[in-house]
Amino acid sequence: MKRQLSSLPALVDDIRLIKDELSELKIACDFSHAKVEEFNARLMDVESKVTQIGNTDLSTLHAELAKAKQDLSAQEQRSRLNNVEIKGIPLKKGENLFSVMDAIGRKIGYACPKSQINYISRVPMYNSNEKLIIVSFLNRYFKEDFIAAARCVRNLSTIDLGLQGVPQRVYVNDHLSTDMKKLLSNVKNIAKEKQYEYV
């Protein structure tokens, strides 16, 4: 019996070790269970939000987005109300754009003093190596009169302005935003199809 009981302390130590390991396993299981519960709660919250979004009237959202785009486009066009776009004048190194404006003013019979110009610059054209001239006037009415005078001169060309090289047609127009240019292009295409004289 003494011999059989001699292994009892080792057995008690093994039981204690197993008990400690079971305790650690229980703690780990409790932690994992808490995480699963937290994940489940978050998943239910996400599902609830997705349901709310799904119930939102998408046509209302589309309408609001379209209105915001329209307002932005209108604002962009308003910021260009004093601007003129001049296309067809070839870019030359060391050019003086104020001299170009003087030449145009003389040809169309509407003087354009430097004091009426806020800024003048070359800007690149979309999908082109050509750069057009943008002139921003200080006064919108001066700009409107300038464009009206330019439109009275038919077939304005670089030769009319005393520029050397191959003659090119020069166009003086309002400075339109990208959306307005697309709209004008669409209207012109429809007018061509319907054989309207002008738009």
Q: Which two tokens stand for residue 141?
A: 């009415």
Give the side-chain half-sphere CA count within 13 A for 158: 13
User: In the predicted model, is pLDDT for residue 33 greater than 90?
Assistant: no
Q: What fold, for 78-193?
A: Alpha-Beta Plaits (3.30.70)
Query: Can you name the residues that pair with 2 across neighbouring β-strands?
Result: none
Residues 147-199 pLDDT 10s: 999 999 988 999 988 888 889 999 999 999 888 889 999 999 999 999 998 87
Residues 3-21 pLDDT 10s: 766 777 777 777 888 887 8
- Going by C-beta distance under 8 Å and a sequence separation of 6 or more, which residues neighbour residue 179? 73, 76, 77
Domain ranges in the chain are 2-55, 78-193
Per-residue pLDDT band for 106 (boundaries 50, 70, 90) equals very high
Q: Is residue 116 a contact partner of residue 169, using CB atoms and an 8 Å limit?
A: no
Nearest to 105 by CA among 143, 136, 134: 143
Model pTM score: 0.64
Q: Which residues of 151-162 are buried (b: 16+ CB within 10 A; e: fewer)?
A: eebeebebebbe
